[in-house]
Structure 1
Amino acid sequence: MRATPEQVWDAITKPEFTAQYFYNSVIECTYEPGTPYRGLSADGEQEYVDGVVIEADPPNKLVTTWRALWAPELAAEPHGRVSWELEIAGEGVTQLTIVHDELEASPKTAESVASGWSFVLSGMKTLLETGKPLSG
């Protein structure tokens, strides 16, 4: 996407950005290994995702455990892992790779999130390249 790694990192880690492309979720986290990672509704009333930071190397890599909480059957499954890897792909261009793995014991979560990451990436790319969210 046409953005620096620092801009992409901010879009991943700052709630004012995530609220605009990540299903209206604000991310609450200090991004220190071992600390909680939480995705909350904009009003903070509902927790959608929880996990723990495994690795944070700004602006190159973020790895967290990740569990969906928006449905009871998903919340009952174990945490998976989400890795965000950023690489310079040209001047002012960053390649972002998201890998959501360790879902063997979480088949309902795997099915639920299968198409969601494409939506998240499309929304982030649009926001960073145009300054406007993809959807209303």
Structure 2
Amino acid sequence: MTDTATALTTQVYRVWIKATPERIWAAITDPEWNSRYAYQAPSYYELQKGGAFHATATKDMKDYAASQGFEVPDTIIDGEVLESEPPRRLVQTWRMLMDPSTAGEPFTTLTFEIEDAKMQAGVCKLTITHELTGAPATAAMVAGTDDMGAGGGWAWILSDLKTFLETGKNFAE
């Protein structure tokens, strides 16, 4: 996995996955799949220009927050689909609502690109580009560099996605 944070305002992450573009697309956009790796928060997409996007908090997230003395909203991330070209490209706006510092920032732009790897049949390159202009708290959180204990950001999510698609198990299993 290559994790290249070109700057906090533009972060680019790449991973090569032994899976078809269709499986990777489904793992990103289908709540039956995207709830099975990383933070396991189901994400819902209306896969058309102007379509809604949102991710919902899990019971574990809500329980953890309550044990720490704060609440997590039901919708933890929201946005809008700007482009949808299954199974190759998805561009959306993205805003994290779990924390007041990120919820108060502007929407950011997130792009998923899925390409066949030129070096190996049956392998795809997944690139995530996250444009984070004007959103320093979000940039720190998704880079996995924050001190708030939010986890490993996009690098961790992509690593777990790769593991899940290639083995059928996520990091927690």
Give the unaligned 5+ runs of structure 2: 1-16, 60-72, 145-152
Greater Cα radius of gyration, structure 1 or 2: 2
Q: Please give the per-residue CA displacement for 1:71-118, whole angstroms capped at 9, x wherever unaligned.
A: 0111000000000000001321110000111x2211111111112001
Report the Cα distance in structure 1 between the residues aligned to 2:29 and 2:141, rounded to whole angstroms.
23
Equivalent residue for 2:168?
131
Equivalent residue for 2:35?
19
Report the Cα distance in structure 1 between the residues aligned to 2:38 and 2:163, rounded to whole angstroms.
12
Matches within 5 A, 1:89-104: 89=117, 90-101=120-131, 103-104=132-133
Report the Cα distance in structure 2 between the residues aligned to 1:82 and 1:113, rounded to whole angstroms.
11
Which fold has the larger relative contact order, with Cα–Cα distance below 8 Å and residues 6 or more apart in sequence? 2
Q: Which secondary structure does the structure 2 equivalent of 1:111 belong to?
A: helix
Taking every aligned residue pair, what percent have the same amino acid on both sides?
41
- Figure out how many residues of one structure are paired with residues of the other and give that number: 134
> 4+ residue runs of structure 1 moved beyond 3 angstroms?
none
Deviation of 1:27 after TM superposition, in Å, equals 0.8
Larger mean CA deviation between 14-23 and 63-72 belongs to 14-23
**TM-score, structure 2 as length reference:** 0.74
Matches within 5 A, 1:114-125: 114-115=143-144, 116-125=153-162
